[in-house]
């Protein structure tokens, strides 16, 4: 049974001192072990929402909380909540293995244990043979794989992904999407993905939230089996087309 919590966002608002309202009463739920994608135009509040979920910013009103299966509120302990940003943000003076092991080192895990755990997640991320390479020796896609492995090495129960594939080409993005789905399913983590790519959202998510100007415009359940999402299929294209129309509608609402 998956022990990952449900993530509940309740009437979340964020207003900045300059008067800008980045989020306006946002509410949604991500079930235990689920993956919800949040899409929308630049400036609609996606990253602000993820930063609040990551405890890197605070809401003006409302909250994002984790809830266990029996409804008990949970406060994720160190290592149970992990974030992967748009850029890999690897330490250039450390090898791939040392970068992946960093969260365990900071947590005081002994050297042998952290190397074993880091090697395990490196293998899962398809990085065998790259352990001793420096970040400058890795391709963009490999750097993002290292960043994903680093986020997963603590075995988090909540995973936050902020456009992790935005800096790579389309072919590499599709390869990384395969890795993300495989690693997410293996980890069982409750996951929130922020992305600009409709195709990526449809490929990965159980649920897609379309935002506009700090609000939820629409919530859509992806009616495709997780194991059979063929980007060339008619059903996949129809899902993408539906979300594109929803985004266009949201943009029309925002302009009025």
Does residue 75 surpass a pLDDT of 70? no
Q: Does domain 1-76+158-166+190-256 have CATH number 3.40.50.300?
A: yes
Beta strands 35-39; 190-194: pairing state: parallel
For residue 112, give every residue at least 6 positions away whose Cβ sits within 8 Å of its Cβ, in sequence order, or none.
Answer: none
Does residue 256 surpass a pLDDT of 80? no
Please answer whether residues 46 and 54 qualify as being in contact, where contact means their C-beta atoms are separated by less than 8 angstroms: no
Does residue 164 surpass a pLDDT of 50? yes
pTM here is: 0.90
Percent of the chain with pLDDT over 70: 94
Q: What is the mean pLDDT of residues 79-108?
A: 91
User: For helices 96-106 and 140-152, what crossing angle results, to 10°?
Assistant: 20
Please answer whether residues 102 and 150 qualify as being in contact, where contact means their C-beta atoms are separated by less than 8 angstroms: yes
Closest CA to 211 of 63, 53, 23: 23
Does residue 76 surpass a pLDDT of 80? no
Does residue 90 surpass a pLDDT of 90? yes
Structure-token match 């609402």, residue found:
253
Q: What is the mean pLDDT of residues 65-89?
A: 79
């Amino acid at each position: 049974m998956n022990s990952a919590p449900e993530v509940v966002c309740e009437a979340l608002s964020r207003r900045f001192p300059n008067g800008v309202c980045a989020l306006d009463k946002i509410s949604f739920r991500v079930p235990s072990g689920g993956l919800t994608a949040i899409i929308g135009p630049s400036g609609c509040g996606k990253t602000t929402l993820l930063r609040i979920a990551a405890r890197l910013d605070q809401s003006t009103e409302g909250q994002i909380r984790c809830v266990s299966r029996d409804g008990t509120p949970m406060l994720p302990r160190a290592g149970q909540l992990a974030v992967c940003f748009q850029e890999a943000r690897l330490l250039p003076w450390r090898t791939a293995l040392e970068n992946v092991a960093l969260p365990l080192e900071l947590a005081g895990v002994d050297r042998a244990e952290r190397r074993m755990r880091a090697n395990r997640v490196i293998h899962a991320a398809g990085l065998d043979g790259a352990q001793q390479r420096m970040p400058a020796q890795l391709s963009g896609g490999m750097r993002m794989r290292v960043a994903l492995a680093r986020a997963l090495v603590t075995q988090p129960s909540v995973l936050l992904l902020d456009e992790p594939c935005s800096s790579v080409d389309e072919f590499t993005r599709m390869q990384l999407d395969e890795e993300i789905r495989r690693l997410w399913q293996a980890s069982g983590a409750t996951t929130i993905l922020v992305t600009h790519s409709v195709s990526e959202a449809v490929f990965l998510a159980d649920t897609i939230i379309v935002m506009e100007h700090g609000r939820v415009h629409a919530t859509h359940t992806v009616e495709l089996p997780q194991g059979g999402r063929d980007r060339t299929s008619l059903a996949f294209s129809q899902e993408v087309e539906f979300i594109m129309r929803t985004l266009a509608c949201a943009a029309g609402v925002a302009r009025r």
